[in-house]
A and B are shown apart, each in its own frame.
Chain A
Amino acid sequence: MVANTAQDSIAASEVSLYRNVLKIKEEHSLEHLGISFYDAETTIQWSYNADHYFHAASTMKLAVLIGVFREVERGQLTLDAPVHVRNRFTSIVNQEPFMLDLGRDADPNVYGHLGKTLTVRELAYWMITLSSNLATNLLIDVIGVPNVQKALDELEIDGVRILRGVEDQAAFDAGLNNEVTANGLLKLLRVIAEGKAYSRASSEEMMKIMLDQQYRSGIPAGLPKAARVAHKTGNISNIHHDAGIVYLDGRKPYVLVILTQFTAENGRGTAVAEVSRDIFNSLAGSSYE
Chain B
Amino acid sequence: MSDVREPALKVVDAFDLDDELRTILKPGEMIRDAQGRRHRLPRYFYEIPEHDFAMEYRITPHFGLNEFLLSDLKEAARLQNFPKYIPCAVRLLAFYLEQFRKDAGASVHIAVNGGYRSPSHKMSIDASPHMWGTAADVYRIGGTILKTKEAIEKYNDLAEDLSEDVSVLPYGHVTGINADDHVHLDLGYITLIPREISEDRMEQPQENRPRFAFEDRRRKERRAPIEST
List residues of chain A with CB under 8 Å of any chain B CB: 77, 81-88, 95-99, 114-117, 120, 142
| Interface residues of chain A: helix, strand, loop or mixed (majority) | loop
Besides the known contacts A81-B73, A97-B180, 13 further A-B residue pairs in the complex with CB atoms under 8 A apart: A77-B73, A82-B73, A82-B80, A83-B73, A87-B181, A88-B181, A97-B172, A97-B174, A98-B179, A99-B179, A114-B140, A115-B140, A117-B70
A116–B71 Cα distance when bound, in Å, is 9
Q: Which residue of A lies closest to B75 (CB)?
A: A82
Residue in A85, A87, A97, A142 whose beta carbon sits within 8 Å of that of B177 in the complex: A97
Q: Which residue of B lies closest to A138 (CB)?
A: B72
Contact with A along B106-130 (1 / 0, CB 8 A): 0001011110000000000000000
Indicate whether B44 reaches chain A with its CB closer than 8 angstroms. Answer: no
A-B contact pairs, 12 of them (CB 8 A): A81-B72, A82-B71, A82-B80, A86-B112, A86-B139, A87-B181, A88-B181, A96-B175, A99-B181, A114-B145, A115-B114, A115-B140
A142: which B residues are within 8 A, CB to CB? 73
| Interface residues of chain B: helix, strand, loop or mixed (majority) | loop
Chain A nearest Cβ from B18, distance in angstroms: 23
A254–B96 Cα distance when bound, in Å, is 62
B84: which A residues are within 8 A, CB to CB? none
Indicate whether B217 reaches chain A with its CB closer than 8 angstroms. Answer: no
Which of A86, A95, A98, A99 gathers the greatest number of chain B CB atoms within 10 Å? A86
Enumerate B143-195 residues with CB–CB distance to A below 8 Å: 145, 147, 172, 174-175, 177, 179-181
A99–B145 Cα distance when bound, in Å, is 14
Indicate whether B74 reaches chain A with its CB closer than 8 angstroms. Answer: yes
**Contact-residue size bin, chain B (C-beta under 8 Å from the other chain):** 20 to 34
Q: Are B181 and A84 in contact (CB under 8 A)?
A: no
B177: which A residues are within 8 A, CB to CB? 96-98
B73: which A residues are within 8 A, CB to CB? 77, 81-83, 120, 142
Which of A81, A115, A116 gathers the greatest number of chain B CB atoms within 10 Å? A115
Q: Are B180 and A88 in contact (CB under 8 A)?
A: yes
A83–B109 Cα distance when bound, in Å, is 17
Q: Are B179 and A97 in contact (CB under 8 A)?
A: yes
A116: which B residues are within 8 A, CB to CB? 70, 112
Given A84-B111, A84-B112, A86-B139 in contact, is the A117-B72 Cβ separation under 8 Å?
yes
A88–B123 Cα distance when bound, in Å, is 14
Contact with A along B77-117 (1 / 0, CB 8 A): 00010000000000000000000000000000101111000
A85: which B residues are within 8 A, CB to CB? 112
Residue in B80, B109, B113 whose beta carbon sits within 8 Å of that of A84 in the complex: B113
Given A99-B147, A99-B181, A114-B139 in contact, is the A82-B174 Cβ separation under 8 Å?
no
